[in-house]
Amino acid sequence: MRELLTDETAVVTGGASGIGRAISLLFAEEGCDVVVADVQEEPREGDEPTHERIEAETDASAAFVECDVSRYDDHLDAMDVADEFGGVDVMVNNAGIFRAETFLDEDDEVFDRTMDVNVRGVYYGARAAANRMVEDGGDGGSIINLSSVAGLRGSADFVSYCTSKGAVRLMTYALAARLGPEGVRVNAVHPGLIETAMTTDDVPIFGTDAEDAYTQSIPSRRSGTPEDVADVALYLASDLSGYVNGESLSVDGGMANTQ
Ligand code: NAD
């Protein structure tokens, strides 16, 4: 059995549902204690809470902490819980929201909340984690930021979302420059079309007439799963990527570079 993250502790924002849940579960299978930091405990897609499943099915420890990533103090609470497991080694800034918008007659609500969660949330999460990773002679760590193919190219219906995810990509490069000398690696992941509550409920693609056309336009001819993204997050969290820093990795079946 592989145990790529033995004796490590991860904080995963948005870890209750979807991609963050898959990351949390995979990390725990690899020996990592996990703090699930989310605004809600129940998975959006149903089933038992992530931390309860980890405790029941793996040897790892897990806890839930209520955290709105747009509030810095909430991140500090998550770091305090991680300290109970030995201190944060891996920070996954995964929480995000996705809203369609018309742009021309839009009020500020979509833009403001999208930037608050998707950009401020990553900035605060990185800062809170990095402070713990470098203080008291800490031995560094890995920060993984969830961007999107929408952070690589423009899309007419999602101006705020693309803006936020592009910011996450550039923030990742800047953070890698700032934190690399401190022993902290910072990388971004750019998922393509992944089936979660985000793409079935918030901006429905799965279960609609458009699903097949989307899927067939992807070179791999399938949509992605949360587990596809979790595998890449595991690589970036572990020593397998020990010399990978300031990188942005697409997990999109070839979508971003071919359309
Ligand atoms: P999801 O909606 O299934 O899960 C998101 C989780 O984040 C939920 O548990 C939710 O409660 C939590 N969350 C939302 N706002 C929060 C806040 N303010 N503070 C803390 N937690 C909060 O979404 P997902 O599809 O799993 O997306 C995860 C990440 O991946 C997001 O950053 C998203 O933008 C990105 N992404 C998703 C896709 C996709 O196709 N699903 C594609 C590209 C990028």
Distance 142 CA to ligand 1 centre (A): 20
In a domain, 186, yes or no: yes
- Atom of ligand 1 minimally distant from the CA of 201: 2
Distance 155 CA to ligand 1 centre (A): 18
In sequence order, the β-bridge partners of residue 249 are: 189
- Count CB atoms within 10 A of the CB of residue 243: 7
* Residue to probe by mutation, ligand 1, list 198, 199, 228, 232, most atoms within 8 Å of CB: 198
Whether 161 sits among the annotated catalytic residues: the reply is yes
Share of the chain above pLDDT 90, in %: 97
**Is 1 a residue whose pLDDT tops 60?**
no
In a domain, 144, yes or no: yes
Give the number of domains in the chain.
1
| Gap between the Cα atoms of 138 and 218, Å rounded | 42
Contact in structure between 250 and 220 (CB atoms under 8 Å): no
Which residue of the set 123, 124, 161, 214 is catalytic?
A: 161
In a domain, 220, yes or no: no
Distance 182 CA to ligand 1 centre (A): 29
In a domain, 255, yes or no: no
Domain extent for 237: 9-196+227-249
What is the residue-averaged pLDDT of the chain?
97
In a domain, 218, yes or no: no
Give per-residue pLDDT as tens, 16-30: 999 999 999 999 999
In a domain, 221, yes or no: no
In a domain, 214, yes or no: no
Considering just the CA atoms, what is the radius of gyration of the chain in Å? 17
Say what the pTM is. 0.98
DSSP secondary-structure letter at 115? Answer: I
Q: What is the pLDDT of residue 251?
A: 98
Environment class of 57 (CB within 10 Å of its CB; exposed 0-12, middle 13-18, buried 19+) = exposed
Please report, for the domain that includes residue 35, its CATH number: 3.40.50.720
In a domain, 87, yes or no: yes
Q: How confident is the model at residue 183 (pLDDT cuts 50, 70, 90)?
A: very high
For the segment 180-208, the average pLDDT, to the nearest whole number, is: 97
Q: Is 232 in the pocket of ligand 1 (CB under 6 A)?
A: no
Q: How confident is the model at residue 136 (pLDDT cuts 50, 70, 90)?
A: low
